[in-house]
Structure 1
Amino acid sequence: MSRRTLDSPEAVRFLVDSFYKKVQADTFIGPIFTDVAQVDWSNHLPKMYAFWESLILGNNAYDGHPFRPHLVINQKHTLTIDHFERWLQLFSETITENFTGEAAEQVRQRATQIALVWNNKLQYLNS
């Protein structure tokens, strides 16, 4: 399959769907989504489409507070740098396998920033 540019809502949805298939199958972070957070994928995925569309396409599709749910999850199961690193590894793999171009690299960098900042916030709150 040829790699594509990350420049449309359809491409963003493909990214999100491909990434969360990896997440759900992952033995390390998958259970955090399924067992701890008990994610309702039919509700979660549209939020993730909007979140990433806002970041990648700048279309302001997302209106919310993405960090808040992670605070709730962290109260049930402490999230560590290992969780964020695995999330980032799966995200980066998904980008590499499916996308090419400047937008793909920018979103990889943005995901890295998000993972680091959120990990730091949670570690501070846990201390």
Structure 2
Amino acid sequence: MRLAPALRALLATAVLVGGTVMATATPAGAATCPTRESPKTDAGKASWTLTCRQVEGQTALYVDGWVEDTRRDALCAVVRITPEGRNYADEVRACGYGTRVQIDKFYQGRSAIVRLAVSR
């Protein structure tokens, strides 16, 4: 049985999208301490360090660093921090060209997904 070219293309796209969704759904993007990152985009840059400390018998994750807006536009440079066990992110925003904002956050646990983005 031969598949029509349009059907083959549709199936290939479905497999590609399914693989992409599966790949991004895994927790492989979570960083554990100690970690140091310094990402850059066209409109922002950031630097942060993840460290772990024992606080009252529990592991605490500290995220320290900064985020800076590097483009004259109406957008902000944003660092999004999603600690393990949470479904929503905390945001640290730097809005306005040259604006740098310090990051000083702590959470329970040993890992978090930390990303630099550009947003309104």
Q: Which category of TM-score, normalised to the shorter sequence, fits these structures? A: under 0.3
Larger radius of gyration: 2
Which has the larger share of helix? 1
With structure 2 as the length reference, what TM-score do the two structures score?
0.28
Which has the larger share of strand? 2
Higher relative contact order (CA 8 A, sep 6+): 1
With structure 1 as the length reference, what TM-score do the two structures score?
0.27
